[in-house]
Every structure is written in C-alpha cells, then in structure tokens.
Amino acid sequence: MKKRIASVLFALAFAILPCVTAFAAEQSEIDALRGTTLYVYNWGEYISDGADDSLDVNAAFEEKYGIEVVYETYDNNEVMYSKLKGGGVSYDVVIPSDYMIERMIAEDMLQPIDFSNIPNYKYIPEKYKNLAHDPKNEYSVPYTVGMVGLIYNTKMVEEAPDSWTALWDENYSDSILMFNNPRDAFAISQSILGMDYNNESPASWRVAAELLKEQKNVSPAYVNDEVFLKMEAGEAAMAPYYAGDFLTMQENNPDLSFVYPKEGVNFFVDGACVLKGAKNKLAAELYINFLLEPEVALANAEYICYASPHTEVYTNPDYSFYEDEILYPEEGKFKTQLFLNLDPEILALMSTLWDDVKNYVPSTGSSNHAFFFGGDSDSSAVIDDGEAMTPEAKRYALYIGIFAAVCLAYVVFRYARKKYRENI
C-alpha cells in the first residue's frame, strides 16, 4: 500500500523536478547525449523496475534525458568481476560492493567520477564518505548500505538465537542454510572466532575454514537466492542473510524473525562506479546523479528494502522503513566490519579453502567434533589439509572399481566365449 502512495508522490514530484538540478556540464552537452546508449550493470532485483506500481527508474531516466538504458544484472560481485575481466563486454555504470570497488580501483578498472556532475552527492551523509574502500571519495557513490544478520523461523527455533554459533547447533541439523559464497561464509566463522574479516594471516584463514568444515556436522544447505524460497516456505530454521532481504521474506512469511548476532556482522556499502573505458561517461554521471534524486532514491529504497545512504530518504516520515529498527539500528549497538580488498595470495587461499570446505564430508563420530566449542580447546589439534582421501571418497573409489571390474569381466567373458565357439 505504502508503495502505491509513494508512486503518486513521484508523479507529483517529477512535474517540478527539471528546474531543481544544476549540473556543471552545459545543457547543450546533455542535450547532445539524446539518442545515445548507456550500459548499466547492477545486481539482480536491485532497482525499482515499475512492478507493483513502483517507479520504473530506467524508463524515467530514458524519458528525462533521451538516453537509452541497457540494463543487465549479476548475482554477485565475483561474477561481475570475472565477466568484466574476461573482456568482451563493455558497461558504463556498475554497482559493486565496497571490497570489490577497492579491488577494481587497485586493478585500474574504474575511473574517477566528476563530482561536479553529481550535485545530488550532497544527500550522502558524512558517515558514508571517506570509507576505507574509497578513502578520497573519487570512484564511488553509495547506492545502498546494509548489514548481514541471522534470520530464523520462530516456529522452528525454540529459543531466539543471539549468536552465530546457532548455525552450528546440531538440534537444527538439515534445516540450516549457509551463504554459498566464500567471503560471507568466512565472515561468519571469523566473527565467532573474533577475527578481523580482512586479516592477512593465512593461518587464521585456515582456522576459520576448520570451523566452517565443522559446520558440516549439521549438514547445512549452501544457498544463494534460494534462501527466499526456502525461508518463506518454512523449509529451513535459520539462515544468515542481508537485513533488507529479510524484510522481503517476512512479508511472505510472518513467522520469520531477525537478529544481529552479538559477535558482530558485516556492514557493506554498494556504490555506483564508472568503469574505465566507459563510452558514455557523462551519461553515466547523469545516471548516478539521477539515482540520487530524492524521489528516485526513495522509490529504490522502497523496492529493494535495503537501507538507504540518502538523507532525504531515511529522514522522510512517509518512507515505509522510516526509523525501522532492522534497517537503521542504533549506531554502535554491535560490532560491524567492512570487507576490504584482500591480498591476491589471501584471495587464492580463500578460494582453495572454500573448495576444501565444500568438499569436506564429516566422518560420523568424528574426533574433531566440538573442536571449537568443546571444553578444552587444544590448539595443537591436527588441521586437516583436505588432501587425504576421505572415507567417502574411498567408498566411491570402491564402487567405481567394482563397476569397472564387472565390465571388464563381462568383456573377458564374451571374448572367451567367442574363442570357445570358434573352436567348436
């Protein structure tokens, strides 16, 4: 309902909009862009697209500037990065997360934004400026911000969890979901162990990986977007996910509840950036500025349900999530950490460790069980390097061996029979 009221507001607001904005770029330069094309690459479901009477942001931009928007989406930062690195594509605007922005700056994939073309940058409060991933505010304009938390189904969980260790609770075996991407999964494990998300010590990453392996005792399902389907259907008791998405899920399943675990959570800032080699840089800047128009930012905030870093949005009493406790919790209430770009060696290590975690099969009655939560934390315990043949692998080897032997025996049998018949 709120959305509908809001969309009426936009309609009114748009009538007066053109006279408000003042660009450094000449009006004639902007007019010259009519008929050109702008390529935007963003997360899926990450812009108000006109569904449910919301504002269709891309269409509104096209109408205002006469610039055609080609809009494509990706599932996660790494997919976006691989696609851009792989070449063969060319976009103007991308909206990656903090650590990826930092990595792309380091690898010279972004170009500085001309902030004189983004007058609406004034709506971004100081606390979202000068963050570690873009310390001089040259390359990115915050688009959404948010935090990760623990979603749980009150009908399935007896006691409301307040800690990430709930995801290791064997009472909820088979009904725990987990992030299917290494960075977020490791962050949970690192929170429990009290580590820095961005620490550069290989040993500590190995320890965090051991904890993730131990989680296999509760056989978690590793999910991406399926988390919506599974949590809404009451298929799983607990899942770590983004606070904004929890609000979407809760609309469909009121039994769901949310908590920011006490060990601390990841805080992220997704920012709009202009790619190096962008063919339509001025249009890209117009687009980024357009995203910060109060009406557009409000429409996006209503649609995406993530927290907005836009002062005119979160101070607007008509906004559905105005002073929402989950999206805009009191500052300093719990520990938050930003992801930063990691050293390439640590990134490579994280990938291999994640492969190990995914392939790890807990042996039943395993001795390293309760290795972390058990009484005596013997730190000299052997850390499995993932190269040993697990019992499961041996079992498969045995099956394949038997199968091959049967096939071989059959071939030999036929051959022998043929020879025998020829001799008759």
Partner 1 sequence: MSSRSSLKSKLVASPYLVWSVLFIVAPLIFVVYYSFTDASGAFTFENITALSKYAPTFLRSIWFGIEATIICLIIAFPLAYIISQKTEKVQRTMVMLVMLPMWMSFLIRTYSWMALLQDTGIINSLLGKIGIDPIHMINTEGAVILGMVYNFLPYMIMPIYSVMAKLDHSMVEACQDLGGNRLTVVRRCIIPMSMPGIVSGITMVFVPSVSTFYISQKLGGGSFDLIGDVIERQFQQSYNYNLGASLSLVLMVLILISMAVMNRFTGEDEEGMVI
Q: Quick one: which of 393, 405, 412, 416 contacts partner 1 (CB under 8 A)?
A: 393
d(CA 329, CA 321): 11
What number of residues does the chain have?
Answer: 424
The interface with partner 1 within residues 156-185 (CB under 8 A) comprises 174-175, 180-182
Nearer to partner 1, 4 or 395 (CB): 395
137-165 residues labelled b (16+ CB within 10 A) or e (exposed): bebbbbbbbbbbbbbbbeeebeeebeebb
The interface with partner 1 within residues 221-250 (CB under 8 A) comprises 221-223, 226, 229-230, 233-235
CB of 79 to partner 1, least distance (A): 5
- Single-letter amino acid, residue 380: S
Near partner 1 by CB under 8 A, which window of 4-12, 41-49, 54-62, 354-362? 354-362
Q: Quick one: which of 132, 355, 377, 412 contacts partner 1 (CB under 8 A)?
A: 355
Rule CB under 8 A: is residue 397 a binding residue for partner 1? yes
Taking alpha carbons only, the member of 279, 270, 282 closest to residue 113 is 282
Q: Quick one: which of 392, 405, 412, 416 contacts partner 1 (CB under 8 A)?
A: 392
Q: Which helix (H) or strand (E) holds 23?
A: none
d(CA 247, CA 251): 6
CB of 265 to partner 1, least distance (A): 22
Rule CB under 8 A: is residue 107 a binding residue for partner 1? no
CB of 112 to partner 1, least distance (A): 24
DSSP secondary structure string, 77-91? HHHHHHHHHH-S---
Rule CB under 8 A: is residue 413 a binding residue for partner 1? no
Rule CB under 8 A: is residue 48 a binding residue for partner 1? no
Burial class (CB in 10 A: 0-12, 13-18, 19+), 204: middle
**Residue 128 in tokens:** 């979202």
CB of 89 to partner 1, least distance (A): 14
DSSP 17: G
Where are the extended beta strands (E) located within 261-363?
265-275, 336-338
**Residue 190 in tokens:** 């690192």
Rule CB under 8 A: is residue 399 a binding residue for partner 1? yes
Sites of contact with partner 1 (CB under 8 A): 76, 78-79, 81-82, 85, 174-175, 180-182, 216, 219-223, 226, 229-230, 233-235, 347-348, 351-352, 354-356, 358-359, 361, 386-387, 389-390, 392-393, 396-397, 399-400, 403, 407, 411, 414-415, 418
